[in-house]
Amino acid sequence: MHTLRRPTILKAYSTSAAQTFPKPPPKASKFVVYCNSQITEHGRRGNIREAESLFRRIPEKTVVSYTAMLSAYAGNGRLSDARQVFENMPQRTVATWNAMITAYVRSGSSGGLDEAFRLFLRMPVRNAVSYSAMVMGFAKSGRFVEAERLYSEAPVKWRDPFCSNILINGYLKKGRFEEAVKVFNGTAEKNVVSWSSMVDGFCKIGRVSEARKLFDMMEEDDKNEFTWCSMIDGYMSVENFEDGFKLFSQMRKEGRVKTGPAVLTVIFEACGKIGKCKEGFQVHCLASRMGFESDVLMSNCVVAMYSRLGFLNEAEYLFSTLREKDLLSWNALIHGYVLAGRLEKAHELFTKMGSKDLASWTSLMMGYSNHGLTDKCVELFNNMPQRDDIAWTALISGFVNNGEHEEAISWYVQMMRSEIKPNTLTLSSLLRASASLASLSLGLQIHASVHKTSMENNLSVQNSLVSMYSKCGVINNAYNIFNSIAKRDIVSINSMITGFAHNGFGEEALNLFRKSVDEGEKPNEVTFLGVLSACTHVGNIDEGWKHFKSMKALFGLEPGPDHYACMVDLLGRAGRFDEALKLINSMMSKVEPHSGVWGALLGASRIHMNLEAAELAARKFSELEPDNAAPYVVLSNIYSFVGKKGDEERTRVFKRSKGVKKSPGCSWIDVKDEVKLFLSGDKSHVNFGDVKCMLSTVIDVAKAYD
């Protein structure tokens, strides 16, 4: 690999007279000019034989003739032929050198880039195109040290804005945003490409307010459709529809930039995603007036928008009027049926499709998965002609979402055997399965896969790791990963707060919450579930009341049934039943208490043997979940404890008359990567005798040390 060396490249300018270009040749004949233009045209169309035939017919070839033939070869991937033409040229211009260098750069290979640089060093004279081609090549291949060095050594008149823009875009495409900002700030002469690239770059990483500052700094006449579209899309990507639509209206009002398909597509997608019906209808009318109804891509976007909004009649009508239906058209309507739960219609349309792509199969699979029909998912998956990582992930995540964690793991093993590389969603789903199974060994294996696939810095995966280790009780590992996250989001913070709370570290959970709020992070409903749970663990009622009331007062969040259940649990555990009942009564005007609220009161009643509260809670719980035996069992135990044997027996008789059966107690242990399950009263285990004997021994030893 060739790198730029000191002394600088500019010393290559000290060339001898023999290296300089000769005087321009005499003016070419009309026939030669015609042949040159035809060679160029045939090259663009890929007709190399015709180009070669014309090239051979030229009696006195000019530099332009050679350059045209060289470019024709290069444009069609025939680099060796292009190089042969280059070497056989009696004389070369800077355009010829640039054509050959650009051909090597566009080849995309490391060897081609090195050869381009060797030619660059041999050039007698360079211009802006020469530098731009090499900077672009180095930037695209990620060789930014060489790109920067060459950029800094280019004459200033050629550096800005051409090379600057290439370097900025190179950094942005590689995700090296801060370096792009540095080059942009150092660019003396910025043009519309410079500004638009940075606006788009800021928007793509969610820094929309900074993008807007740049956007407003631009001269109005310098903003093109791409600039406006990038800024509007930036707002929509962070679900700030109001400002995005306001900017769209401003663009229309000013009229400097014509409203084209690109910006309309952004609006349609946002309306469907965020649920803006009125604005969606308005923009559809606008697109119709502007004559975009015949545009297939635009029509597909409108079908997709109506499908997402639930206006399936409109989506069906538009679909039926399409002259040309492509895969996007079919997939948009299928997705609409899936979202509406109309799986039969989705399957009917899927069957009618001629050719199907992976998105068609995956969309229907996800529909079945969302309705718990995992067997249908497997059937579809097995019939797929091709399967990529997205299809495998749809199947695996479907099992996880439906609580079939062992099946998810089994299919992941098959995925690995098929040599399909998992993506971030695959690993996040598997980590959720590990957490639900409380299987640390499985979680560690998935964590190893995360390292093997170099996804340890992906935020979604990191959040899943924090949750997995927390639920498996390894809170130190969870906290270490949490601290390693470069840019945490609210999910990261919620996972850690909940992890601390569920593992008994209530104070740590509350401290993390305070710190995150001080740093400007806005909590959501899930955050407060973790916070209230932490207050329960530390038994701090005053702190619990403070946070419960702050939800609405400080953060505009309406407490839900789960938040009330946490507060009832906190108050009940402290024996403050009057306050707990008062809170339940107060919530009824806003939201109906679910079984979790009454379950919290029932659990607290068992702790304090409060029969009156227990009877109320058990009755309300049973009304909501008549098949659940828990309230009968708890109430029966309380009757027994307080000496009401008759009521205890009546409760058991009532439970039997209702046909309610208590689910047997269950425990499991992970031994040598195999889960051993034990049910209360079950004697069918193959090693039942050995297990019973060992358990008796363990109990005897424990008693000896009691």
Residue 321 has pLDDT above 70, yes or no: yes
Q: Could you say which of 321, 354, 387 is where a domain stops?
A: 354
Same domain, yes or no: 675 and 696: yes
Which of 2-16, 157-171, 209-223, 264-278 has the lowest average pLDDT?
2-16
Residue 374 counted as domain residue:
no
Phi and psi, residue 674, nearest 5°: -130, 130
pLDDT tens sequence across 356-379:
888 889 999 999 999 999 999 999
Same domain, yes or no: 252 and 273: no
Residue 228 counted as domain residue:
yes
Residues 706 and 269: their CA atoms lie apart, in Å, by 67
Residue with tokens 């996250």: 485
Residue 619 has pLDDT above 70, yes or no: yes
| Highest mean pLDDT out of 173-187, 570-584, 683-697 | 570-584
Same domain, yes or no: 196 and 245: yes
Give the per-residue pLDDT at 133: 87
**Helix, strand or coil, per DSSP, at residue 677:** strand
Residue 436 counted as domain residue:
no
Same domain, yes or no: 298 and 344: yes
Give the per-residue pLDDT at 518: 93
Same domain, yes or no: 253 and 271: no
Give the per-residue pLDDT at 526: 95
Give the per-residue pLDDT at 677: 54
CA-to-CA dists, residue 565 to 311, 524, 544, 551, 609, angstroms: 37, 17, 12, 15, 19
Same domain, yes or no: 706 and 674: yes
In order, the DSSP letters of 10-22 are GGGG---GGGSPP
Residues 236 and 230: their CA atoms lie apart, in Å, by 10
DSSP class of residue 141 equals T
Question: What are the tokens at 467?
Answer: 């949750």
State the residue range of the domain holding 338: 267-354
Same domain, yes or no: 249 and 274: no
Q: Could you say which of 241, 258, 275 is where a domain stops?
A: 258
179-214: b or e for each residue (b if 16 or more CB lie within 10 Å)? Answer: bbbebbeebeebebbbbbbbbbbbbbeeebebbbeb
Which residues have C-beta within 8 Å of that of residue 133, sequence separation ≥ 6?
Answer: 98, 101, 102, 105, 116
Same domain, yes or no: 271 and 349: yes
pLDDT tens sequence across 469-489:
999 999 999 999 999 998 899
Same domain, yes or no: 271 and 252: no
Residue 12 has pLDDT above 80, yes or no: no
* Angle (CA) 44 45 51, round 5°: 80
Same domain, yes or no: 273 and 299: yes
Residue 430 has pLDDT above 80, yes or no: yes
Q: What share of the chain in percent tops pLDDT 70?
A: 88
Residues 204 and 198: their CA atoms lie apart, in Å, by 10
Residues 215 and 460: their CA atoms lie apart, in Å, by 31
Same domain, yes or no: 214 and 281: no
Helix (H) or strand (E) holding 678: strand 674-679
**What separation, in Å, do the N-terminal and C-terminal C-alpha atoms of the chain show?**
72
Give the per-residue pLDDT at 235: 92
Residue 23 has pLDDT above 60, yes or no: no
Residue 303 counted as domain residue:
yes
Tell me if 188 sits within 8 A of 216, measured CB to CB: no
pLDDT, averaged across the chain: 84
Confidence bin at 681 (pLDDT 50/70/90): low
Number of folded domains that form the chain: 3
Residues 571 and 579: their CA atoms lie apart, in Å, by 7
Same domain, yes or no: 306 and 276: yes
* Angle (CA) 313 319 321, round 5°: 105
The whole-model pTM stands at 0.66
Q: What share of the chain in percent tops pLDDT 90?
A: 41
Residue 308 is which amino acid? Answer: R
**DSSP β-ladder status, 666-671 and 674-679:** antiparallel
Residue 59 counted as domain residue:
no
Residue 207 counted as domain residue:
yes
Confidence bin at 108 (pLDDT 50/70/90): confident
Residues 100 and 123: their CA atoms lie apart, in Å, by 11
Q: Could you say which of 240, 258, 276 is where a domain stops?
A: 258
* pLDDT top residue among 489 and 15: 489
Residue 402 counted as domain residue:
no
pLDDT tens sequence across 435-446:
998 889 899 999
Question: What are the tokens at 428?
Answer: 């996040």
Residue 640 counted as domain residue:
no
pLDDT tens sequence across 256-288:
888 888 999 999 999 999 899 999 999 999 988
**Of residues 258, 233, 254, the one with CA closest to residue 244:** 233
